[in-house]
Chain A
């Protein structure tokens, strides 16, 4: 089955700096890659996703890149703000329609 690895497990950034989270996946058949943000006491919330026919996607301060050859994808957050502090999860979905999540990255943005 699919295996998703996520790094780093924790990330501390100064407000205004950029944050980058990287994930790798094992199944070359995976073709949908969402990113979720989970705040304390809440369920995961989709923030951006990318499909395998696209190399990069951007939504305001958030961008995701996908390298299918290397089987890795990354989340980039620019101009970080304190409200960006949360746990971020990457995930991969293959043709079977099942989401496999990474272990999460705790992002702390300090003012």
Chain B
């Protein structure tokens, strides 16, 4: 079974530029998550989708971050404009469904460096 796919793997941009990340979850997984992992810290949830609807985006900085999951499969996360503090690894994860005990499977992440 193929895992969670993410691209690009690395991205270097200057502050105030925009950037987009793509995620393809495990086939059949209804729930998709985007996490931000700053160096030396654990992942922090940015947004959670159930199919193509948003379940939780309380930690998403909506003035600069946006995400969508059209058709309930692939998802994109965008940052515009980027700030220095956005330098982090952006992890996508998916699970079969939403609920306590649902195993979340992570992709390899996109490493973003904002200069």
Contacts and interface: CB of A to CB of B under 8 A. Distances in A.
A31 B102 CA distance: 12
A99 B41 CA distance: 14
Contacts of A96: 56
Contact of B103 (A43, A49, A97): A49
Contacts of A6: 42
Interface residues of B, number: 24
B44 to A, nearest CB: 7
Contact of A44 (B41, B48, B91, B101): B91
A51 interface: yes
A32 B100 contact: yes
A34 B103 contact: yes
Interface in A38-52: 41-46, 49, 51
Contacts of A49: 101, 103
B43 interface: yes
Contacts of A91: 42
Interface string B13-46: 0000000000000000000000000001111110
A102 B100 CA distance: 18
Contacts of A69: none
A101 interface: yes
A27 to B, nearest CB: 12
A19 interface: no
B51 to A, nearest CB: 15
B100, B102, B105, most chain A CB atoms within 10 A: B100
A21 B111 CA distance: 27
A93 B104 CA distance: 12
B40 A46 contact: no
Contacts of B98: 97
Contacts of B104: 34, 46, 99
Interface in A90-109: 91, 93-99, 101-104
B100 to A, nearest CB: 5
Interface of B: 4, 40-45, 48, 55-56, 91, 93, 98-109
